[in-house]
Amino acid sequence: MGLILEVIGYSGRVAAHYSITTFNPFVIQLVCITLAPCFLLAGIYYTLGQLTVVMGPKFSVLKPMQYCSIFIICDLISIIIQAIGGGAASASLSAYTSSRPGANIMVGGLAFQVFSMTLFQLFWYHFLFRCYKERKYNGSAGFNPDYDDIRKGKYFIHLLFAIGASVLLIYVRSIYRLIELCEGFSSKLATVEVYFMILEALMVALASLILTVVYPGFVYGRKSSIVVKKGIHFKTFGTKKFKKNAAKDFDEDGSSDGYYNDKNNVNGNRSLSSYNGANGNGNGRPVHTLSDGNGYENGYKGDSTLDEKNSDNAV
């Protein structure tokens, strides 16, 4: 959707080149090119949710689905605000009145987008730093064992760099558009083509190209299936109550959320252990558990299930 909007927007810009007084091409390029990167970011946000599952949610401040829920909602808010502003600005221009009020609304939408991207990047770099520390001091033992094949893929590390680079490129573009709209449609940033082509067109083009070459589905593998569990669950922000009850967090169907308390790991040492069907896993498949430095377990169940009655034995 983002790339389709880019194509439509630049088609309008090309048409406006041949008829600079025509109204419709101007509005098309203004609205479409401004909104398109929001949809590109939505794909990036979901990809980080997948990477959180692949590496292990214990390395992330948020649960996997929260990256989608929170930041895509922020994107939608930004899209709506910018669309309203773009509509107001175009209506003002068609009536030969000041477009400043509409531009101000668009500034608000872009400012909100820049804020949400800044917040996202803080979470992203925090996630990468924790994964780096785990790899450096404990190897791969602390990562989610169900996705070893994906992490061992030839281009998996490239995907991490690709996501980081794409977000930075779109971030630079958003800051440029924010400053451009603050200064107005008649400002130097808005009227000198070279600024637009480098700080808008080139940034988005490079971000799109990077994510096309290092495509997440290609990196994961054709047969890979990464389940990003639905639901926001704001309890994940690290409260003691959540940690205490994490082992008892079961679905109504009797299967767990996938994370259990490793009661044997009370000394804060990281552990990776598996339990077979004889210890309470009814289908005989392994249940993996991981513990962090506080003795709190962050293991992953894979596709095994437990009923609530036997969960203590399985742990």
For residue range 192-207, what is the model confidence (pLDDT) as tens digits? 999 999 999 999 999 9
Amino acid 231: pLDDT: 53
CA distance 223 to 242: 34
Token pair for residue 118?
A: 């800044």
Nearest to 260 by CA among 276, 284, 244: 244
pLDDT at 311 over 50: no
> Could you give the dihedral angle defined by the CA atoms of residues 248, 249, 251 and 253, in that order, rounded to the nearest 10 degrees?
-10
Asked if residue 160 has pLDDT above 70, the reply is: yes
Which one of 79-83, 123-127, 260-264 scores highest in mean pLDDT? 123-127
The mean per-residue pLDDT over the stretch 233-251 comes to 41
Mean pLDDT across 297-312: 43
Q: What are phi and psi of 273, to 5 degrees?
A: -140, 155
| Band of residue 173 on the pLDDT scale cut at 50, 70, 90 | very high
- Checking if the pLDDT of 290 tops 80, the result is no
Confidence grade of residue 161 (pLDDT, cut at 50, 70, 90): very high
274 vs 3: CA distance, rounded Å: 45
Q: What would the pLDDT profile of 30-56 be if each residue is shown by its tens digit? A: 889 988 998 899 889 888 888 999 999
Residue 230's pLDDT is 64
| pLDDT score at 258 | 40
With a pLDDT cut of 90, the percent of the chain lying above it is 33
Is a pLDDT exceeding 50 seen at residue 288? no
203-213 vs 23-55: helix axis angle to the nearest 10?
Answer: 40
The residue with greater pLDDT, 168 or 64, is 168
Q: β-strands 272-275, 287-290: how paired? A: antiparallel
Mean per-residue pLDDT, 156-167: 93
In this structure, which long-range contacts are made by residues 287-294, counting pairs with CB atoms below 8 Å and at least 24 apart in sequence? Answer: 287/260, 287/314, 288/144, 288/145, 288/146, 289/260, 289/262, 289/315, 290/56, 290/58, 290/142, 290/144, 290/262, 291/262, 291/265, 292/58, 293/268, 294/243, 294/268
